[in-house]
Chain A
């Protein structure tokens, strides 16, 4: 085992690079800037492109253009920048443009505090588009996840033609950790399915047997048509209620109907225990400590670490919680994801513990919340 020292943000950049990302545009913002720095060192020498946008809106706009031209593209920001991304997130969702968006969350609301962490954006990421269509959000726990989940994010963006968020945080992105990058398991790469030659191209007709349309790059031989307007399968603006309903239902179904195939997680059951602890992000690390200590003290607690937050992996939640009467959700915010858990598990006693003051939630606090 040969370890190197890597920030979560650097691991994101390497994951993107190894996933075939060759376009990055971003605007400097703490605590996400080291992703931009690393991409700038990585891509241009490898024939890729990195731009510093004049603002965050432009940064994501550049990525959408590049993605439509056939490139795998990524951008990275933090809370204030995610707010500015919103209009282009809507575009990417509505118009099925693959892109990976890293949110290295910092303490909010608003500009908050740039060098403090929190998980305050997890509902925002889900609902950041006008129209309310679903998005995919993955949440890393450590630098190793930053690498692997970034690769998964590209696979999902390509497969489902949608933006995929990585909900990192200052506490993961800017923490240096020992890591053996070469030993991490790399998921096989997936590419968007391309329009077969010689057939009529309808840019938004789902490919046979699936929910996702074929892709034809802007600049290829086949004319590609892209629009942020409500569109029919032919890519032209439409207000036809049938066509519109078919589109928005498909945007929903293609993700919510598939989430069981990408419900990334870790589960430590506790046979005989009465409580299931649910965490995501950096809080999961304190929770691991707490669970070990609780088990050593004769009180085993089951622990589910969610790495896919959206769409809500409902089957997974039901299966994981089946054997426990009580579910405790711990989050670095005032209780965002617990709402989903309560919705999915109405017959369980679902409790919440959390804080959003810029300090890590500690194992001691979690133990106390479990014992409460």
Chain B
């Protein structure tokens, strides 16, 4: 035997006399009962404003949050509790401030029901204009509402991909049935319900249930499925896609297999440009350190643009755990591009004769006491995009920071299959 109402006896509705919200509330209650739903099978999520009381007036799960964001809570709830009937109420104010979330919800098609109680103004704060206020209305925002074109929510929702869209009046006979259709629709349903706010709007504007009916009759009639937007509900589609994803393996360590050529902290700075795979080379060098049982740190520096500007990687390999990981006393500087060298120009003067500087073709170096080794990458037939990795092969040949065994272990940890073969082939040209 179902309860006769899901309305909250301890919190009777407190809308202004004649407020359309009251009638929508009662229609919604009837719709729930007709569908045989119990309170715990429903969550009312309400927005801010007078429609923001809907959660209080129902004996259901309830969540009421900040202005315009109700759809976001509803989505989180629905994804985690797919069996729950989640109904969102918001006003035309919430529609305006939360429009990004309305559009996102339409595009997403999660099985939620959105009721937008459109009474053409901000009731609670003094009748200011909202996204739906007619230009000719007199509201609490002076002349401003004459200037902004009112938003056609059903058209917006349909364009954004909502599969069920309805424009209706609080006062039409089949409101309850319409709400039932929206709630049972398996997907995102948007119902715009026009109604009167006697507290504010009708003080200065003459509208009646009849005039609303006439207005709606003059607009495009929409109430039901939008043929072009029919598709699988988001939660079901998400489950299908997620099930096909491979699990992410836990990070695999590299077993130490040899000793590094130097047993002290080694800092390597790679000065390159975007597109030279500086970060990848830095990672390979760090992995090479792990292969020798060293601790490693890799700090990268680049501009916010992806394909332009300097790209710098600061590497530290050390037998001790690494605390400070900024560059202090590099033992190797790899200079691969003008941009990278410019960014760290100030550091060159302090480099001593113990520092090895690998110089790529065409890169000018600021004066320093470092030992410069010019690399003939062009002669080796190595492209600029591979210079950073090739520099590691040069270091390995010199037994500086890393050796051949460390390099191979790192490459095998970082690359697979064809890429690995291609990288090895490129680096073999360094050795020749």
Where the two chains meet, the residues of A that have a C-beta atom closer than 8 Å to any C-beta of B are: 1-6, 10, 14, 23, 25, 30, 38, 41-42, 44-47, 49, 51, 53-55, 57-58, 61-71, 73, 87-88, 90-91, 113-115, 171, 174-182, 217-229, 235-237, 285-286, 288-289, 359-360, 362-363
The answer to the question of B236 belonging to the interface, with a C-beta cut-off of 8 Å to chain A, is no
Contact A25 B76 (CB under 8 A): yes
Q: A5 with B296: in contact, given A57-B72, A68-B63, A223-B59 (CB under 8 Å)?
A: yes
Q: Which of A49, A63, A90 has the most CB of B within 10 A?
A: A49
Contact A58 B100 (CB under 8 A): yes
Where the two chains meet, the residues of B that have a C-beta atom closer than 8 Å to any C-beta of A are: 11, 39-40, 43, 45, 55-56, 59-66, 69, 72-81, 83-84, 100-101, 103-104, 238, 241-242, 245-248, 250-256, 282-283, 286-287, 289-290, 293-304, 322-326, 328
Number of residue pairs A-B, CB distance < 8 angstroms: 226
The smallest beta-carbon distance between A20 and chain B, in angstroms, is 13
Q: Which of A42, A174, A228 has the most CB of B within 10 A?
A: A228
Q: A363 with B80: in contact, given A65-B72, A175-B299, A178-B296 (CB under 8 Å)?
A: no
Q: A177 with B62: in contact, given A45-B242, A64-B73, A237-B56 (CB under 8 Å)?
A: no
Q: 6 tightest A-B contacts by CB?
A: A65-B76, A61-B72, A2-B253, A219-B81, A69-B80, A44-B242
CA–CA, A23 to B78, complex, Å?
A: 12
The smallest beta-carbon distance between A280 and chain B, in angstroms, is 14
- Chain B residues, Cβ within 8 Å of A171: 299
Q: A66 with B63: in contact, given A3-B254, A176-B283 (CB under 8 Å)?
A: no
Contact B326 A69 (CB under 8 A): no
Contact A45 B251 (CB under 8 A): no
The smallest beta-carbon distance between A221 and chain B, in angstroms, is 6
CA–CA, A71 to B104, complex, Å?
A: 22
Q: Which of B60, B66, B325 contacts A223 (CB 8 A)?
A: B60
Contact B255 A64 (CB under 8 A): no
Contact B65 A61 (CB under 8 A): yes
CA–CA, A115 to B309, complex, Å?
A: 13
The smallest beta-carbon distance between B94 and chain A, in angstroms, is 13
Extra pairs beyond A176-B296, A219-B43, A223-B62 (16, CB < 8 Å):
A4-B252, A5-B287, A23-B80, A62-B76, A63-B76, A87-B69, A91-B66, A174-B299, A174-B300, A175-B297, A177-B297, A178-B296, A179-B251, A219-B81, A223-B60, A285-B324
- Chain A residues, Cβ within 8 Å of B253: 2-4, 180
- Chain B residues, Cβ within 8 Å of A62: 72-73, 75-76, 79
In the complex, what residue of chain B is closest to A18 when comparing beta carbons?
B250
Contact B326 A286 (CB under 8 A): yes
Contact A229 B61 (CB under 8 A): no
CA–CA, A236 to B58, complex, Å?
A: 12
The smallest beta-carbon distance between A24 and chain B, in angstroms, is 11
Contact A69 B77 (CB under 8 A): yes
Q: Which of A46, A66, A217, A221 contacts B79 (CB 8 A)?
A: A66
- Chain B residues, Cβ within 8 Å of A180: 253
- Chain A residues, Cβ within 8 Å of B324: 285-286, 288-289, 360, 362-363
Contact A54 B84 (CB under 8 A): no
Chain B contact residues: helix, strand, loop or mixed: mixed
Contact B61 A178 (CB under 8 A): no
Contact B302 A115 (CB under 8 A): yes
CA–CA, A340 to B119, complex, Å?
A: 50
- Chain A residues, Cβ within 8 Å of B298: 5, 175-177
In the complex, what residue of chain B is closest to A221 when comparing beta carbons?
B40
Contact B246 A49 (CB under 8 A): no
- Chain B residues, Cβ within 8 Å of A182: 250
In the complex, what residue of chain B is closest to A42 when comparing beta carbons?
B248
Contact B242 A68 (CB under 8 A): no
In the complex, what residue of chain A is closest to B304 when comparing beta carbons?
A114
CA–CA, A220 to B40, complex, Å?
A: 7
In the complex, what residue of chain A is closest to B410 when comparing beta carbons?
A5
CA–CA, A5 to B77, complex, Å?
A: 36
Q: A223 with B40: in contact, given A45-B247, A362-B328 (CB under 8 Å)?
A: yes
Q: List 28 A-B contacts (CB under 8 A).
A: A5-B283, A5-B298, A14-B250, A42-B248, A58-B101, A61-B72, A65-B63, A65-B76, A65-B77, A68-B63, A68-B73, A88-B65, A115-B301, A171-B299, A175-B300, A176-B298, A177-B295, A180-B253, A218-B84, A223-B39, A223-B61, A224-B62, A226-B64, A227-B64, A227-B65, A236-B11, A285-B323, A286-B323
The smallest beta-carbon distance between B153 and chain A, in angstroms, is 17
Contact B304 A61 (CB under 8 A): no
CA–CA, A227 to B52, complex, Å?
A: 10
Q: A177 with B296: in contact, given A41-B248, A45-B242, A285-B324 (CB under 8 Å)?
A: yes
CA–CA, A239 to B323, complex, Å?
A: 52
CA–CA, A6 to B295, complex, Å?
A: 12
Q: Which of B62, B69, B255, B293 contacts A226 (CB 8 A)?
A: B62
The smallest beta-carbon distance between A147 and chain B, in angstroms, is 10
The smallest beta-carbon distance between A265 and chain B, in angstroms, is 16
Contact A218 B251 (CB under 8 A): no
Contact B76 A67 (CB under 8 A): yes
